Amino acid sequence: MTRPARRRQRVPLALLLPAGLGLLFLVLPLAGLLVRAPWTTLPRRLAQPGVLTALRLSLETATAATLLCVALGVPLAWLLARVEFPGRRLVRALVTVPLVLPPVVGGVALLLVFGRRGLLGSWLDTTFGVSLPFTTAGVVLAEAFVAMPFLVIAVEGALRGADPRYEEAAATLGAGRWTTFTRVTLPLVAPGVAAGAVLCWARALGEFGATITFAGNYPGRTQTMPLAVYLALETDVQAAIVLSLILLTVSVAILAGLRDRWVGTA
């Protein structure tokens, strides 16, 4: 490697060694995917109808879940960051529960609430004839459940970092709380919202456990890419590698594109 000469800092070996191992640990599996990919049969495998269906379903549900998270998560983050209310610490802890909960447990919990005989599900079914489990909407719900904490945490952090005196200035100019929120607060934390949405989308795209538990594994309806990868692994390892490669390429491409546009300015 040739690089312009610069002042070399001495890096202690005790830090350099684990850092290098860590990097290797993260990169090696990705390299493995590339090495073992069936490059010769790749075009034919890509053209198989099931692949594109699963990819489109993954992108659509991840995007819908992200929109749902933004619509509900940004106000929730605002509440946590700006309003003093009793039990705020408890609420903040509750918001992060899906982060530590195994996704499969999350899926079971969703079934108990939104399932056909669940707490809300039975009411939804009898009143509106709506049943969420094992539908595409159920996939969105499962992904949103797991991904929302990422958005709330990112936006709450951005709100705490934003100077609340801008909101006071807006108030002295005649803006009520809602106008202040839409005209001042939201534009100020826009980079944080964007960063949170990107994290949220990436988490939703990779969601597996809650989705398969709550929404099942029906091709074209609830079978997203991670589910397709897992299923393919049982029967055809080559196909699983191809699907993994596609998921990897698409998510890295989209994240890199968004990063340059928004997250870099955060």
173 binds other proteins (CB under 8 A): yes
187 binds other proteins (CB under 8 A): yes
188 binds other proteins (CB under 8 A): yes
- Interface mask (CB under 8 A) for other proteins, residues 26-45, using x and -? --------------------
d(CA 232, CA 245) in angstroms, rounded, equals: 13
Shortest distance, CB of residue 169 to other proteins, whole angstroms?
Answer: 4
174 binds other proteins (CB under 8 A): yes
The token duo for 125 is 């079914």
183 binds other proteins (CB under 8 A): yes
> Which member of 124, 171, 263, 266 binds other proteins (CB under 8 A)?
171
d(CA 116, CA 110) in angstroms, rounded, equals: 11
Shortest distance, CB of residue 180 to other proteins, whole angstroms?
Answer: 8
Nearer to other proteins, 177 or 221 (CB): 177
Enumerate residues 57-96 that contact other proteins by CB under 8 A: none
Half-sphere exposure of 11 (CA within 13 A, CB side): 9
Half-sphere exposure of 57 (CA within 13 A, CB side): 26
From 255, 260, 250, 225, select the one nearest 240 (Cα to Cα): 225
Nearer to other proteins, 12 or 176 (CB): 176
Asked if 173 and 138 count as a contact pair (C-beta separation under 8 A), the reply is no
Report the Cα–Cα distance between both ends of the chain, in Å, rounded: 31
176 binds other proteins (CB under 8 A): yes
56 binds other proteins (CB under 8 A): no
266 binds other proteins (CB under 8 A): no
Q: Is 133 exposed, middle or buried (0-12, 13-18, 19+ CB in 10 A)?
A: buried
Shortest distance, CB of residue 265 to other proteins, whole angstroms?
Answer: 12
Nearer to other proteins, 136 or 180 (CB): 180
Binding residues vs other proteins (CB under 8 A) = 163, 165-166, 168-176, 179, 183-184, 187-188, 190
